Every structure is written in C-alpha cells, then in structure tokens.
Amino acid sequence: MIHIEVQGEAGEDFGKQMFQYFYRIYDKFDREVYALALITDHEAENANGFHYSFYDTKVDYTYHVYRFQDKNITKLEQSANPFAHAVIAGIYASKTKNDSDARYAFKRKLMIQVLQKFSTQQEDTRTYLSTLFYFIDYLLQVPKDLSKKLADDVIPYMGEEVIQKMEAEKTNPSQTLEEIFAELREEGKVEGKTEGRKDALKHVVQELVREGYSNERIVKITKLNLEEVKELRRTFERN
C-alpha cells in the first residue's frame, strides 16, 4: 500500500502524524506500507521522520520526503515516470488554492497529458491510471459544474473502448471517472456518436495536429480510423 501526504507547511508534529497514520493503516490492513510526504516547506527540519525514546523503548520511523517546489514542472512533464504527474498535481494544488478556474485549467491539462503519454491498452496500466486520476482528483478538487465540464473534456482523449473496459474492471473510480461513467450511462450506451461528441473529437484532433502529432498517434489516442484523421487534417490545413 502507498500512503501519501501532501503538506504546505510541515510543522514540528508532522513526523508524529505520519507515524500515527502509518500504524493505523498497518493495523487495519496488515500490509506493507510505503509512505511518502510531498511538502512545499523548504525550512521544515522535522519532516523526514519520527523518533521516540522512553527508557529502553525506542521507535525510529522514517519515510521518503519529496519537496516538490524544488522541481521543474517542464522536466516533470517530460519524465517517463508516471509518479511525476502526481508531483505536478501537488504543485498545482499549492498554486491554485483560491482560484477554481485556474485549478480546473491545470487539472484538465494534467489529465490529458497523462492520457496522451501512457498507453491504456493493458489492464495494469489502466489500473495505475485510475489510481493516478484518484490522486489528482483528491488534490485538485473543483466545483461540481467544473467537474462535469472536465469529464466532457477528457472523454474524447480516453476513447470509447477504454472507458468501457475501465468501468467493467470495477476499480474504485475517482470523481472524474465516475462523472464519465455516469454521463455515458445516461446516454444508454458508450457509443459516442452524438453530434456533440463528434465536435469534441474534432477539437481534440485539431489540438493534436497543432501540437505536431502524427496521424498514426492521433488514431491511437482518439480511436478514429486513419482516413477520418487524414480528412480532418486536410480540413484544418485548408482553413
């Protein structure tokens, strides 16, 4: 199991709190626990562990500390490590505490980057992406109306087949994934053939063409066929 804490300022009791969370998780689930603290406080001296001593009874508990404000977002975006996107979510959470619109924009960008970068064809990868979405949703919470808008924006980048598989796999869905599943259930089936969905896919293809993606890569992301992508590219280039 993984225990992650995101903290703006790590006070003097932070290490103690991490230890308390650890033993509660361990006691409840009786499984190995990897603990990670994501913090922005550069001055925190007691953030990397908890140390207890009373006569001959001693506890030394340490965990990994990641001071994410030291990290360059551009480098993180280029990283092949999916965990880098969790760190980016932590950075965005710190930057957008009081700005829902900015948080929505960052969250949309991050989720789309994740879907574009990592294949969704393997079940274990889909499980990891579902977990990563859960983490992003937890850190970058937005109002209900923006959450629904986010689901609409993300659907074209996932593709119908992937959405069907992720829902069938019965993983504990994040807020955004649950919005996606609910919306498509309301439509009856995951067909994606309404005019609104077609328009959304056209917009996605246009963005990908502008960013220099090849036709083959666009086909893989959108699940359109090659001829449809070629025709859309010709249309965009004429305009």
**Digit-coded pLDDT (tens) for 97-129:** 889 999 999 999 998 888 887 766 666 667 777
Taking the CA atoms of the chain, what radius of gyration do you get in angstroms?
A: 21
How large is the average pLDDT for residues 70-75? 75
Per-residue pLDDT, 40: 67
How large is the average pLDDT for residues 180-206? 66
Overall pTM surpassing 0.75 (yes/no): no
Per-residue pLDDT, 200: 72
Domain limits of the chain? 195-238
Q: Look at 186 and 39; give whichever has higher pLDDT.
A: 39
**Concatenated DSSP letters for 131-198?**
HHHHHHHHHS---HHHHHHHHHHHHHHH-HHHHHHHHHTT----HHHHHHHHHHHHTSSS---SHHHH
193 falls in which pLDDT band (50, 70, 90)?
very low
Q: Look at 46 and 52; give whichever has higher pLDDT.
A: 52
